[in-house]
Amino acid sequence: MIRPNRFSAAALGFLLAAAACQNDELNRPFSFIPVDPLFDRYVSMGNSITAGFQSAGILDSTQQQSYAVLLAKAMHSPVFVPSMQKFGCPNPIDSVFVIDTVSTSPTRGKPHRYNNTFRDDLCYLRAIPATPPPYVSNVAVPGAKVRDAYANLGPGTSPNPLTQFILGGLTQVQAMRRAQPTFLTVWIGNNDVLGAATRADSAGDTLRITPVATFEARYDSLADSIATVSPSGVVLLGVANVTLIPYFSRGSTYWAIKNGLVPGAAFPLLFTVDNNCAPSVTGIPGARGDTTLVPFVYGIPLLQAAAAGAPRTLSCADTIAPIVVPSELRALVGAVTAYNAKITAVASARGWTYLDPNAKFAALAADTAQVRPFPILPTKVPGGPPVPGDSAAATRPFGRAFSRDGVHPSASTHRRIADTLRVLINSDYGTAIPPIP
Amino acid sequence: MRRFALLLLAGASSLVAASPRTLGAQGFGVYEHNSCAMGRAGVTAARPCADGSAIFFNPAGLAGLPGTRFSAGVTAIAAKGGFTDDFLNHRTDLDNPVIPVPNAYFTYQANEKLTLGLGAYAPYGLETKWPLEEFEGRFMAYNTDLRAIYIQPTLGYQVSPTLKIGIGFAYITSHLELHQRQDLSPRPIPAALAVPAGLPAGTTFGMVGVPTLTDFADAALEASGTGYAVNFGAIIKVNDNLSIGGHWLTRKHINYDGDAVFEPVATNLVLPVAIGPLPAGTPVDAVLGPQFGAGGALEDGPVSTTIVMPPQGTLGFAYKITDTWSFMADWQYVVWGWFSDVDIDFENPATPDLALHPSNTDTHGFRFGTEYQYSPKVQLRGGYLYHGGASPANFVTPLLPEGPRNEFTIGAGIEMSRKLHVDLAYQFIKQNDRRGTVNTAHGNTGLYQFSANLFGVGLAYTF
């Protein structure tokens, strides 16, 4: 005979065993398990560099090369990139010195781009993946200044089509909030000075530099917005010294080549360089070439015209609007220095981490294979200085560290930036992000 | 008798009004239709409770039920659970209120062999309610309410001393509500904007950057339908101690007709740059406005759908161990496999139809119950049941995030007087945690958790 109490005990045991059964795999998928909970949701804010803009264009492949994406992947953090469809938005440049020369063409003077076009106004819109992202983890927008991070319209903003196509009407801050980030990197402010430096008709236009006080106020507003989401970790990157980009060559470089001081390089006979482009150490009266920046979009056409038989002269005088003269250079560098002092102070006050990118860029600039002091011109361009053995004249005319616009870092530099961040984050937050693959 | 029939109809009315709204059984099934049966884990196939609830549990159980009886009860269901999203690690808790589920039965013994009955119960129904704000699944459903009330005239017949049979014809009245938000990002940009902007045909708002999960409309679908089903069963008395029995409730397609109402929800998005004829600063909501007007894709209008109320049945036994103690068990089978597609058709041709593919699988439940006559006036009951999940792994959704369950019950029956009997029951449901989805296009992106406490009380009056 079964005694009730024994039966009950057996039944209870059975029931508890049954209750413990679980049929489904309950854990988060492995690919979404970050190396540290700090990186559960990593969001990157910024401008073109962070967005993955290269060679004056952006598409899904360049976006995947962004330091922010590389870092997120190393963190094993979910990465949702607002991918642009092939061939980009706009198509990246594939041959910067192949210019549309058709006088009646609406794209006259523009460089050649992927998909065999000179048009820089094409946009293939956002790619919609089979699994739409629950949020965007890289909210950076090319062209964004500090104020653009939290406002799309109004004074001080500079929206562009990519603002629409990446954020869809949100601001970077709003898009960042949707992701509820646990970790954040912010690299913005470059465009508060870059646009002034690279303005085609008036390079170094100091009126276009965001005043330091304005920058500081805007950066505070941005920091306040970031603080509202209380991320566990934040890294602020300083403003890059835009005067180091190979978009510019020193006036003194032109002078040195012209005067036969660079072995293997020569300019057309009809191209002359004023002595005011000599370096100041020469003692030549008025020499200022080492503190004068010549954009390639100004200097190279002079060379090409001279090679074609039209005499041209490069002068480093203050009256030459398309170049950055010493006073403008000082203003640009001064702004960068002041901006970075502010960003450093913000990071310090809020307990965030600060990274000065300029040490890395300066190191790259010291290596002429990485950052060309003068672009490599294709040999078919008359007057271009020959660079024997360097077949990369078209693919990396500004050196390995920069893409084909001379402004934006190349994929290899993105990897360096990501690794620099990785080391810094591991040091400051005690994490163990593995090396960038 | 007429008076009691009116009472029963009143009970049925309250049943309809209160709605079942439960997740008390598997799929959108409900099984807690009587406090006596609930106390013994719903084990009733071979020996239904003697209070008329056999009308649902096994119509054969009416046979031989003496006198005239009326019983009514209610089960209060306090469900709790939630969804934890993989990406944001954000948990949203169910917002279900404590829900009363009434039931009512009336029986009348016409002669020694024939007993008649009328019952009102709700074998299918659910309400799943999620808080609207920040719930990732709001675009599938944030409030689903399905009610299917069966009003069933029944007869039980004692064929022989060892065989009882019964059959009932149930009139089904059902009501369906579905509330969901609409996501702007996958929507095509209206031609009136896309063409002048030079956007290719088929360009969606997502392709111009509108983030996923951007609410721009609230959709409310409400529809009703009716139908008939048959519930029949038999009980064989093998000997004085052992009975076996079973019942079957047939399938029914219910065709629903109703209305869809769409309300705009502000996106608050503003174009940062000009797109075609729209200047920078244009509010996106202004662009969307015509969608809700006459001829727009989101114009209010008629809607129809069909839902299968699947067949179900039980087979079980009851064994009298002693004069005071019985043990019983049922196997329950529900053909959820026939609930595989739900197509929601909007009469407005501009409104995209909705298609859900639950692809459910048949479920098996194993119920074990016991009843002990503690004293001449008090019966004690207990039970356990395990039930598989109807939803496949790829369709565990906010509509009905169900899964395999273990359930435990206790109960008591108390003789208050010669005519009045009270039943009390408690049931705890622990559903296995289960990965699920909030957007079937995304796959499973989170974890659903569910449990419930059920409290039942019933009164049975014998005239």
Q: What local confidence, expressed as pLDDT, does residue A243 receive?
A: 93
Digit-coded pLDDT (tens) for A318-348:
999 999 999 999 999 999 999 999 999 999 9
* Residue A79: other Cβ atoms inside 10 A: 22
- B415: β partners: B421
Question: For residue B117, how far is the Cα from the chain centroid?
Answer: 24
How many domains does one find in chain B?
A: 1
Instruction: With beta carbons under 8 A apart, name residues in chain A contacting B408.
Output: 15
Instruction: Indicate yes or no: CB of B212 within 8 angstroms of CB of A133.
Output: yes
Residue B441, domain extent: 2-462
pLDDT of residue A17: 43
Residue that has been written with the tokens 């089979």 in this structure: A130
CB contact B325 to A (< 8 Å)? yes
CB spacing of B89 vs A165 below 8 angstroms: no
Each residue of B82-108: pLDDT tens digit?
999 888 888 999 998 888 888 999 999
Q: Which residues of B touch A4 (CB under 8 A)?
A: 325
Q: Give the bridge partners for A354, in sequence order.
A: A236
Q: What is the pLDDT along chain B (463 residues), one digit of tens a residue?
A: 344 333 333 433 443 333 333 344 556 778 899 999 999 999 999 999 999 999 999 999 999 999 999 999 999 989 899 999 888 888 999 998 888 888 999 999 999 999 999 999 988 777 889 998 889 999 999 999 888 899 999 999 999 999 999 999 999 999 999 999 999 999 999 888 888 888 888 899 999 999 999 999 999 999 999 999 999 999 999 999 999 999 999 998 899 999 999 999 999 999 999 988 889 999 999 999 999 999 899 999 999 999 888 899 999 999 999 999 999 999 999 999 988 888 999 999 989 898 888 889 999 999 999 999 999 999 999 999 999 999 998 889 998 888 999 999 999 999 999 999 999 999 999 999 999 999 887 788 899 999 999 999 999 999 9
SS3 A97: strand
Following CA atoms B252, B308, B226, B152 in sequence, which dihedral angle do they give, to the nearest 10 degrees?
50
Task: Enumerate residues 10 to 49 of chain B having a beta carbon within 8 A of any beta carbon in chain A.
Answer: none
Mutate: best of A21, A36, A164, partner B, most B CBs <10 A: A164
Q: What number is the ipTM of this complex?
A: 0.86
Average pLDDT estimate for A284-294:
97
Give me the pLDDT at residue B25, please: 52
Query: Within 10 A of A386 (CB to CB), how many other CB atoms are there?
Result: 13
Name the CA radius of gyration of chain A, rounded: 26
Residue A12's pLDDT is what?
43
Reference A41, options A196, A141, A174, A176; nearest CA is A176
Residue B453 touches partner A, C-beta closer than 8 Å:
no
A112, β-bridge pairs: A95
| Distance in angstroms (rounded) separating the CA atoms of residues B60 and B162 | 12
Residue contacts between A and B (CB atoms, under 8 Å): 132
**A131:B441 CB<8 A:** yes
Residue contact A161–B273, C-beta within 8 A: yes
Per-residue DSSP letters for A15-72? HHHHHT---S--SPPGGG--SSGGGSSEEEEESHHHHT-BTTB--HHHHHTSHHHHHH
| Per-residue pLDDT, A396 | 86
| Residue A403: count of CB within 10 angstroms of its CB | 26
Query: Taking CA atoms, what residue in B is nearest to A12?
Result: B384
Amino acid at B59: P
Question: What count of Cα atoms within 13 Å lies in the side-chain half-sphere of residue A345?
Answer: 10
Alpha helices (H) in A244-283, listed in sequence order: 251-258
pLDDT band at A393 (very low <50, low <70, confident <90, very high): low
Contact B68, B1 (CB under 8 A): yes
SS3 (DSSP) at A83: coil
Q: Cβ contact (<8 Å) for A169 and B86?
A: no
B214 touches chain A (CB under 8 A): yes
Nearest CA in chain B to A124: B207
The amino acid that residue B150 corresponds to is Y
For a pLDDT cut of 90, what percent of chain A falls above it?
80
Q: What per-residue confidence (pLDDT) applies to B21?
A: 38
**Higher per-residue confidence, B283 vs A390:** B283
pLDDT (0 to 100) of residue B5: 38
What phi and psi values does residue A154 have, to the nearest 5 degrees? Answer: 105, 180
8 Å CB contact between B426 and B378: no
Answer for the pair A169, B185: CB distance below 8 angstroms, yes or no.
Answer: no
Say whether pLDDT at A21 is over 50.
no
How far does the CA of residue A255 sit from the closest CA of chain B (Å)? 43
Note whether B406 contacts A126, CB cutoff 8 Å. Answer: no
How far away is chain B from the Cα of A144, in angstroms, using its nearest Cα? 12
Token pair 């402004």 is found at A407
Q: Which chain A residue lies closest to B406 (C-alpha atoms)?
A: A19
Residue A41 and residue B157: Cα distance in Å, rounded? Answer: 66
Token couple for A245: 């980009």
| Helix A411-429 × helix A358-365 angle, to 10° | 140
The answer to which of A19-28, A364-373, A405-414, B136-145 has the lowest mean pLDDT is: A19-28
The residue type of B158 is Q
B211 and A168 within 8 Å at the Cβ level: the answer is yes
CB contact under 8 A, B87 and A18: no
Q: Considering only CA atoms, which of B114, B27, B40 is closest in space to residue B330?
A: B40
Structure tokens, B126: 């659910």
d(CA A187, CA A148): 13
| Bridge partners (DSSP) listed for residue A117 | A113
B393 contacts on A by Cβ (under 8 Å): 24
Among A55-59, A383-387, B443-447, name the most confident range. A55-59
Secondary structure of A159-188 in the HEC alphabet? Answer: CCHHHHHHHCCCCHHHHHHHHCCCEEEEEC
CATH number at residue B402: 2.40.160.60
* Separation between Cα atoms, residue B389 and residue B431, nearest integer Å: 9
Comparing CA positions, the residue from B133, B103, B107, B128 lying closest to residue B118 is B107
**Closest-CA residue of chain A to B369:** A11
pLDDT score of A212:
98
Specify which residues B179 forms β-bridges with: B143, B220
Cis previous bond, A90, omega within 30: yes
pLDDT higher than 90, residue A388: no
Which of B456, B450, B233 has the alpha carbon at shortest distance from B330?
B233
CB B211 to CB A170 under 8 A? yes
Contact of B286 with chain A, judged by CB distance below 8 Å, is answered with no
Chain A's closest residue to B382, CA to CA, is: A8
pLDDT at B201: 86
Q: Mean pLDDT over all residues of chain A? A: 90
Tokens of A255: 């002078």
Instruction: Take residue A201 and report the two structure tokens written for it.
Output: 């008709």
**Which residue in this structure is represented by tokens 């960038």?**
A436
Q: How far apart are the C-alpha atoms of A201 and A66, rounded to whole Å?
A: 30
Residues of chain B neighbouring A78 (CB-CB closer than 8 A)? 87
Of A381, A384, A406, A399, whose CA–CA distance to A295 is shortest?
A406
The pLDDT value given to residue A26: 62
Q: Which token pair is A43?
A: 């969001």
Residue A23 has pLDDT above 70, yes or no: no
Joined tokens for residue B428: 């705890």
**Short-list B271, B391, B369, CA closest to B325:** B369
Which of A28, A131, A173 best tests the B interface by mutation, with the highest count of B CBs <10 A?
Answer: A28
Q: Which two tokens stand for residue A348?
A: 């310090």
Which H or E run contains A236? strand A233-237
pLDDT of residue A389: 42
CA distance A249 to A240: 17
Q: In this predicted structure, what is the pLDDT of residue A385?
A: 46
Write a three-state SS string for chain B: CHHHHHHHHHHHHHHHHHCCCCCCCCCCECCCCCHHHHHCCCCCCCCCCCCCCHHHHCHHHHCCCCCEEEEEEEEEEEEEEEEEECCCCCEEECCCCCEEEEEEEEEEECCCCEEEEEEEEEEEEEEEECCCCCCHHHHCCCEEEEEEEEEEEEEEEEEECCEEEEEEEEEEEEEEEEEEEEECCCCECCHHHHCCCCCCCCCEHHHHCCCCCCEEEEEEEEEEEEEEEEEEEEEEECCCCEEEEEEEECCEEEEEEEEEEEEECCCCCECCCCECCECCCCEHHHHHHHHHCCCCCCCCEEEEEEEEECCEEEEEEEEECCCCEEEEEEEEEECHHHCCCEEEEECCCCCCCEEECCCCCCEEEEEEEEEEEEECCEEEEEEEEEECCCCCCCCCCCCCCCCCEEEEEEEEEEECCCCEEEEEEEEEEEEEEEEECCCCCCCCCEEEEEEEEEEEEEEEEEC
What's the pLDDT tens digit per position in B348-404?
Answer: 998 989 888 888 999 999 999 999 999 999 999 999 999 999 999 888 999 888 899
Asked if residues B203 and B332 have their Cβ atoms less than 8 Å apart, the reply is no
- With bands split at pLDDT 50, 70 and 90, how would you rate the model's confidence at A129? confident
Residue A390 in this model has a pLDDT that exceeds 80: no
The angle formed by the CA atoms of residues B175, B176 and B180, to the nearest 5 degrees, is: 160
Question: What is the DSSP secondary structure assignment for residue A100, as one 8-state letter?
Answer: -
**Omega prior to A87 cis, within 30 of 0:** yes
Q: How far is CA A179 from the centre of its chain?
A: 22
Domains of chain A, earliest start first:
30-245+339-429 (3.40.50.1110), 249-314 (no CATH)
